[in-house]
Chain A
C-alpha cells in the first residue's frame, strides 16, 4: 500500500489548516488582531480602563447619530440648492453674538481640561472652581443660543431650513444640557469623602464628553453659519 508522499505528519491532522493554502495570513492576521485586544484577558480589576473604554465606544455610537442628522441636512440642502431659503428668509447669520457664544463654548474645552489637570495634581479646590466656570460658560452658550433663536427670521415650521436647523442645533443643545448636568454631579461628588480613592474616571469621561460636544459645534457652525 503506497503512502501519500505529500503528507508531512502522517499521524497528525490539523483541522485548522486552511483548505486553500492561505496559511500565511491565517497565522499573521490573528497576531495582528491580538495587538488591539489585551491578549489573554485577566483585566477584570482595571475599572478605570473599563469605564473609559465603555464610554468611548458609546461616544462612537453618538457620533453615528449626529453624523446621520448632519448628513440629512447636507443631502437635503444639496438637493434643494436653489430654493433652500424661502423668499424673504436670510437664514442663520454670523452675528457678533453668535460668534461670541461659539467662542465661549469652544474655549470652555480648555477650562475643563485645566480642571481635570488640577484634579490630577490633587488640587480639588481649583478643580471645583474651574468646573463651575466651564458649566457657566456652557450656560452662557445656551442662553445665547436661545436668544438667537428668538431673533431669527425663520421658525421650526419654515420648510426644510427650519426643520433641519432647529432639530440639529436642538439636539446639540440637549447635549450641552446633559454635559452641564454631569458637571454638577461631578461637583457634588467631589464633596464626598474618599471619592477619588479609585481615580477620577467620571471626571475624565465628562471632560471627553465636553470636548465631543464642542467638536460637534465647530462642525455645525461651519455647516449652518458659513456654508
Chain B
C-alpha cells in the first residue's frame, strides 16, 4: 500500500473536522425508521449478515449428515427442511438484501448524490424486508416445522406438505418471500430513479463506475422479472391454502406453468446477485493494479446486455422435465450466449492485471480469488447448458457444485472483497491485513475443498437433496464436509477482525487506497451530510496510473 503513487484528487476532497461525527453515531439508529440511505444500507447489511450465519449453521448440519452414508444426525423430514431453509435463507435473506444494503450505501456516494430519490420508501423497504425475514425464521417453530419442499417450492410437492393450514411452514415461507419481493420492488424503483435523476453534473452515462452500471442493470431486471414470481407465488398460495386448481393436474391445472414462471424470474435473479459483484471486482482490480479498467465501455455494455440475454434462457433449468425437443435446442443456444458477456468481463479483468504492479491487499486477494472461482463456475455452467450433459448430471451434486462455485465462491468472496475495501467509509478505520489474509486463506481452501469434490460426486451419480448415499462415495464426501467445517471456521477471524478494527483499527483517512471514484473524496467515516456542494465530474472513471495509458478519447463527450 505504501508504494502506491498518489493520484491527483478527483475533486476537492473534504477533510473530516474534529467535531464532525460519522453518519453512524448510536447503535439505536439501527432500530429506527431512518431515511438516511447510509443507515438503511447498514441496517440491510448487518441484519443480512446475521442471517448468513444462520444459513451457514444449517449448511454445517447438512454436511455433518453427509459425513457418513447412513442417516444418523437428523431425520429425513428435517433434512428436507435443512436444505430448503439453507437455500432460502442464503438467497432471500443474505445475498439479495446484503447487495441491496451495499447499493444503498454506495450508489449515492458514487454518483455524487445526497441521498436516493425516495428516502421514505427506502426506509419502508427495509422494514418490510425485515418483517418477512423474521417470518421465515419464526416458521421453524410452527407445529408442522419450516418449509421443506426446496427453495423452488414446486407443486405438487409444496402443496401437499401443509395443505389448508394457514400457519404451515410452507404458507409462512410464501408470505415471507412475497414480502421480500415487495421490499425489492421498492428498492428497485428507488435505485433506478436515483441513477437516472440524481447523478452529479458531468457524471455522464459513460463516466459511471461499473458498480453503478451493474446496479442499474440488476435493479431494472428486478422491476421486469420479479412481478412474475410474485404472481406465481400468489397462485401457489391460493392452491395451498384455498384449494384452487391452478397447478393441480387432476382439475386441468398445470404444474409446469409454475416452473416456467418461477425460472422466468429465478434465472435472471442470479444476475441480480452477480452483476454487483462483477461491479465490485471492476472497482477493486483497477485500484490495486494502478491500471485503468481495460475496455471500460465494453464492460459497461456487456453488463447491460445481461438484462436482455437472461430473459431468454430460463428453460435450461427445466431441460430434464417434459420439455419438447425444439425448446431444449432453442434454450441451449441462448444459454450459450450468456458466456459471451461473462467472457468479456474475465478478459477485461485479466487485461487490467496484465503487466501491472500488483498490490495484494486483502480486498484484492478476495477479488482475484473470486474471479478465478468464477472461471470454473462458468466452465461447468457452459457444460450444463449442453442438454446431453445436463440430462446426465441433472439433480446431482454436479449442479450443486456448479452453482456454489457461483454463489459462494464468487459472490460471497466478492462481498468480502467489498467489505474489506469499503470498510473505512463506514467506520473510518481499516481492517487488519494479517487477519484478513488468514481469513482469505481459510476461505479459499475451504471453498475449494467443499465444492470441488461435489463435481466428482455428481458425475459418479450422487443425487442431491437426499440424506443418505451409496457407501463407495464416502471418501469425497468426507473431504467435502471437512472443507465445509473449515469454511465455517473461516468467518471467525473475519468477525473478530471486523469488531476489533471497527473500534481500534488503523485510521484510514479519506482515501486509503488512492482510488478514483467520488466516494473516496469524502471523509471516512462518511458524515451525515455527504456532499455539501454537489461535485462536478470532469474525469473518466478509473483514471489511474500512466498518463500514456488513457481510458478513452477525452475529446469524446459521451
Contacts and interface: CB of A to CB of B under 8 A. Distances in A.
A15 B292 contact: yes
Interface in B238-264: 238, 242-246, 251-254, 257, 261
B254 A76 contact: yes
Contacts of B114: 44
Interface of A: 11-16, 18-19, 26-27, 29-31, 33-34, 37-44, 46, 49-50, 53-54, 57-58, 60-62, 64-65, 68-69, 72, 75-76, 79-80, 83, 156-157, 159-160, 163-164, 167
B204 interface: yes
Nearest to B292: A15
| Chain B interface size range | 35 or more
Contact of B227 (A13, A27, A31, A62): A62
Contacts of B196: 37-38, 53
Contacts of A33: 205
Interface centre among B114, B117, B118, B197, by most chain A C-beta atoms within 10 angstroms, is: B197
A72 B549 contact: no
A41 B202 contact: yes
B199 interface: yes
Nearest to A20: B298
Contact of B205 (A39, A65, A80): A39
A15 B202 contact: no
Given A65-B231, A160-B245, A16 B552 contact: yes
Contacts of A64: 224-225, 227-228
B297 interface: yes
A75 B257 contact: yes
Contact of A40 (B202, B297, B298): B202
Contact of A15 (B198, B242, B549, B556): B549
A15 B199 contact: no
B435 to A, nearest CB: 35
27 contacts: A12-B548, A13-B550, A15-B294, A15-B296, A16-B295, A18-B298, A26-B298, A34-B206, A41-B112, A41-B197, A41-B199, A42-B534, A43-B199, A49-B197, A50-B197, A54-B118, A61-B223, A61-B227, A72-B231, A72-B246, A76-B257, A83-B252, A156-B242, A157-B243, A160-B251, A160-B253, A163-B245
A39 B197 CA distance: 10
Interface of B: 111-114, 117-118, 185, 188-190, 192-193, 196-206, 223-228, 230-232, 234-235, 238, 242-246, 251-254, 257, 261, 291-298, 301, 351, 534, 548-553, 556, 558
A57 B297 contact: no
Given A33-B205, A58-B223, A69-B231, 10 more contacts: A15-B551, A16-B298, A16-B552, A18-B298, A29-B301, A42-B199, A60-B223, A64-B227, A68-B228, A83-B252
Contacts of B113: 44
Contacts of A75: 254, 257
Q: Which of B193, B198, B549, B556 has the most CB of A within 10 A?
A: B193
A39 B537 CA distance: 12
Given A27-B556, A41-B111, A65 B230 contact: yes
Contacts of A61: 185, 188-189, 223-224, 226-227
A80 B252 CA distance: 7
Contacts of B224: 60-61, 64
A163 B552 contact: no
A164 B113 CA distance: 45
B246 A68 contact: no
Contacts of B117: 50, 54
A167 B238 contact: yes
User: Of residues A15, A34, A157, which shows the largest number of chain B Cβ atoms within 10 Å of its Cβ?
Assistant: A15
A40 B534 contact: no
A181 B128 CA distance: 21
Contacts of B242: 156
Given A65-B227, A69-B231, A14 B550 contact: yes
A10 B202 CA distance: 30
A29 B534 CA distance: 29
A62 B198 CA distance: 24
Given A65-B231, A167-B238, A41 B198 contact: yes
Nearest to A29: B301
Residue of A16, A31, A72, A80 most packed against chain B (CB within 10 A): A16
Given A15-B549, A64-B227, A160-B253, A42 B200 contact: yes
A156 B257 CA distance: 21
Contact of B198 (A44, A65, A159): A44
Closest 10 A/B residue pairs (Cβ)? A41-B199, A68-B231, A42-B201, A65-B227, A64-B227, A163-B244, A16-B552, A54-B193, A80-B252, A30-B558
Contact of A34 (B205, B261, B301): B205
B344 to A, nearest CB: 10
A13 B551 CA distance: 9
A167 B291 CA distance: 56
Given A16-B298, A50-B117, A159 B205 contact: no
Contacts of A13: 548-550
Contact of A14 (B205, B226, B246, B553): B553
Contacts of A69: 231, 234-235
B246 A58 contact: no
Contacts of B552: 14-16
